[in-house]
Every structure is written in structure tokens, then in C-alpha cells.
Amino acid sequence: MATRKKAKQARPAAKKATVKKTAAALPAPSKLPYGKAGKALDGVRILDLSHVQAGPTCTQILGWFGADVIKVERPGIGDITRGQLRDVPNADSLYFTMLNHNKRSITLDTKHPKGKAVLERLIKHCDVLVENFGPGVLDRMGLTWDYIHKLNPRMIVASIKGFGPGPFEDCKVYENIAQCAGGAASTTGFRDGPPLVTGAQIGDSGTGLLLGFGIVTALYQRTKTGRGQRINVAMQDGVLNLCRVKMRDQQRLKHGPLKEYGQFGEGVPFGDSVPRAGNDSGGGQPGWILKCKGWETDPDAYIYFITQAPIWEKVCDVIGKPEWKTDKDYATPPARLPRLKHIFATIEQWTMTKTKYEVMEICNPVDIPVGPILSMKELAEEQSLRKTGTMVEVDHPTRGKYLTVGNPIKLSDSISEVKRSPLLGEHTKEILGKVLGYSEKEVTEILQSGATSAPLKSKAAA
């Protein structure tokens, strides 16, 4: 009894301590209107050594959330994508501009002694170093984890590589290699065709987003530990993570055929690994891409149609097959599975009499899940996407106005502004002087040393 009483007394005290701790850890709620209290990552400084697509995707999204992203680029060349797939002569390509918004650019030869000294100062100044060089490059620059950690124990070092430790760890990797090695290609395409890669950049941009998640998580943990840590995301792992449902199916295969795959209904036996399933729905609700009015001339006149079980009767009514509601061959999901090809062919006879937008108008009010196949042209012109900032028009000093894809993550208190990508080395002087605190004389010395500029061509080479 006495013990119980003691415990009872102890409880409120513990509660009080928790409340106190929480109150001390968080500031009082801001009285400013939402969106006016700064950005989520204000004050976070990113040393961006990344290039091409995977790393820049990550640092761009951190920049949209307010982080100060300082992009270090090789003098005279910069990120290789500046010149790749160029559409406007002498201007940065869309490949570069669409991946490098909200960043500042400093040119630095990291192998030049003065360049290395500047880089070290940047390491001391920043919170996070992001890189997606080929395997071993960072170490060859002298930037081992031990070295960085000694310079700045709070530094988070975030890396993307093609593969994690294992047989392929030394390989260089681009998007499609990751899609192939991560299980996406073997499960994409039609059963009787070769593996296919998808246009969605799940290897590059997908892995970049995962890295961003790792970074904000590590920043949060640092508020408790005070120290940085290493983050490694392999593109193979990132793609495999997105192919989770296919690994689910791989294990289900041991227990019998995958009945929701069209191949089951066609009587084609399964092998020992997950087959390509065309446009079959990945979930338990059968679906397929169907032709719509105009498909003969418009390559995107198609709709994705899902025959979700709870609304099956509505599907029957809409397509003019009310008798299927009671027919034992069609009335239940298991009865339908072996007949999916015929069912979708019948639904298609109906969708071909309508445009994809008309199908949307008819099906959505009765809760039939359908989705139009939208072309890039249609998405670029879609006004609702402009209004939400998902599509943004940006002005650029050398290439003029262009359209870009904005931040898909909408925070109510950290509104994203998409600012144009920097010109090569546009902020070199500003970063040396204002950010790193070099004196005017020191800045001049660094600029004249060749650490920030392309080596002059010798007369013979010119």
C-alpha cells in the first residue's frame, strides 16, 4: 500500500519534468502568419559537391526548404550537365538549370593547394557535405571521413554511390544501370518483350530524395548528439526500395501463381522469378491501360482503368453490361481473375467511344478509379499545376524564360520559392569574402592563384 502511494506521488513529478523539458526544447509558437516565419531549413549550410542528377536533386530540394546550398564546381567546366543536351547556344542547359535552383555557385579546383584550403574552410563552415562522385573520388581528394570529421565533428557527410559494399561497389552508375540492377527493369515491360527502363528517374532523382530524407534525419539526431554522421545511399538500394511490391510477389510465387497477373488468366505458367506484367496493376485491384477516342492518331489517348471490387457493379452499369453483376463468371473478384483480358477488352470497347477526359467525368462521380495518360505537353500547360507551384516559370539571364518542375512537397509554414540556377562561379567572390571571411587581399590572391579559374591555355594548345 505504502509502495503504491509512493508510486502515485512520483508520477506527477515525472510528468512535470517532461512538460518542462518539452517547453525548454521548443520555442513558443510563432505569432507570425503561416509562411512568414522563415523557411524550414533556414540556417542549414550545405556544401554541395554533387553533380549530374542524383546529388543535385537532393540539394535542390534542401534549397527549396531554405538551406543555403553552396555548389562547388570545377573551374571552367562546372557540373558536366551545364553543357549537356544544350538547346540554347552558350546558355546553361535545361538539364542543369532544372536541377540546380536555389543554389550559389563557387568555382574551385579542389586539387590546387589554395583550392583545398578554401574547401577546408567550407567544411568548417557548413553542416552537411553532399557528394555523388564515383567510388573513391572523395578519398582521392584527401577528404576521408576521418579527415572531415576532424575538421568539423558536426559535419554530416552524405553520399550517393551506385552500389553499396559488395561485388559491384567500385562501379560507376547512371540512372538506367540502377533501374536494371535494382529490379525495376526486370519487372517492367511486357512478358514477351525485353526488360524496359522507365522514364521516371527513380535511380537518380529517387535516390536523391532518399538522401535528402537521410540528411534531415541526421540533422535532427545531431540536435541531440551534437555530432555529424555518414549517410550512404546506394542507387541499387533506392530502386529496390521502390520495387518492394515485386519482392513481395517473388516470395508469393513459392505458394502458387500470382493470380492478379494477367498471365494467370491466359494460362501461361509462371517461372521462378517475378515476370514482367505489362500494365497490370501492382496491387490487389486489377487495372489496365485502355484506348480512348482518338487513339489512332494521339499516342496519349489512353486511360488507366481500375476494376476495384467494391465498385464492380458501377463498372458494369457504366460500360453497359448490367448482366455481369449477377453472372457467376463475373460477379466476384476470384471469378473475374481468369477473365481479365476479356473484361478489359470489353471495357475498352466503351472507353474507345469517349475521350480520356470524358471517361474521367463519367467514372469519377461514381468512384471508379481512372487516370488519364497525360503527355508532357498537357502537364506543361495544366494551369492547376502552375497555381500550386508544381510547375514554375523561371527567368534566367542567359537563356530567358523556361519552365521547371517545382517542389512537390508543400509545407504550410515553409513556402517554396524557386530561384533560378546560378551561373558558373557566379558567387565565387561573394562566398570567399562574405561567407568564409577572407579579406579583400586574400580574395584577390585566391582568384589570381588559379584555384578558382580554368588554367590558361598555353599558346601551343590555343
Enumerate binding residues for ligand CAO (CB under 6 A). 52-54, 72, 74, 108-111, 132-134, 137, 140-141, 160-162, 172-175, 204
Nearer to ligand CAO, 389 or 450 (CB): 450
List phi, psi (to 5°) of 444.
-60, -45
Nearer to ligand CAO, 65 or 96 (CB): 96
CB atoms within 10 A of CB 346: 15
Alpha-carbon gap, residue 436 to 443, rounded angstroms: 10
Alpha-carbon gap, residue 241 to 409, rounded angstroms: 20
Contact between residue 187 and residue 205 where contact means Cβ atoms under 8 Å apart: no
Annotation says 192 is catalytic? no
Strand bridging mode 156-161 / 230-234: parallel
Q: Which of 48, 204, 249, 280 is catalytic?
A: 204
Smallest distance from ligand CAO to CB 73, Å: 6
Smallest distance from ligand CAO to CB 55, Å: 6
Smallest distance from ligand CAO to CB 208, Å: 8
Q: Which residue has the cell 577546408?
A: 120
DSSP 329-393: TTSSHHHHGGGHHHHHHHHHHHHTTS-HHHHHHHHGGGT--EEE---HHHHHH-HHHHHTTSEEE
- In sequence order, which residues have a C-beta less than 8 Å from that of residue 344 and are 6 or more positions away? 286, 288, 290, 305, 307
Nearer to ligand CAO, 76 or 372 (CB): 76
Smallest distance from ligand CAO to CB 237, Å: 12
Q: Which residue has the cell 496493376?
A: 281
Residue number of the CB closest to ligand CAO reads 134
H or E element that contains 158: strand 156-161
Nearer to ligand CAO, 174 or 270 (CB): 174
Smallest distance from ligand CAO to CB 72, Å: 6
H or E element that contains 445: helix 440-449
Angle (CA) 3-7-9 rounded to 5° is 115
Q: Which residue has the cell 470524358?
A: 358
Contact between residue 443 and residue 121 where contact means Cβ atoms under 8 Å apart: no
Alpha-carbon gap, residue 194 to 58, rounded angstroms: 32
Smallest distance from ligand CAO to CB 177, Å: 8
Smallest distance from ligand CAO to CB 144, Å: 13
CB atoms within 10 A of CB 265: 18
Alpha-carbon gap, residue 234 to 122, rounded angstroms: 26
Smallest distance from ligand CAO to CB 440, Å: 24
Alpha-carbon gap, residue 1 to 350, rounded angstroms: 76
Contact between residue 261 and residue 277 where contact means Cβ atoms under 8 Å apart: yes
Query: What's 139's DSSP letter?
Result: H
Q: Which residue has the cell 555530432?
A: 227
Residues catalogued as catalytic: 204
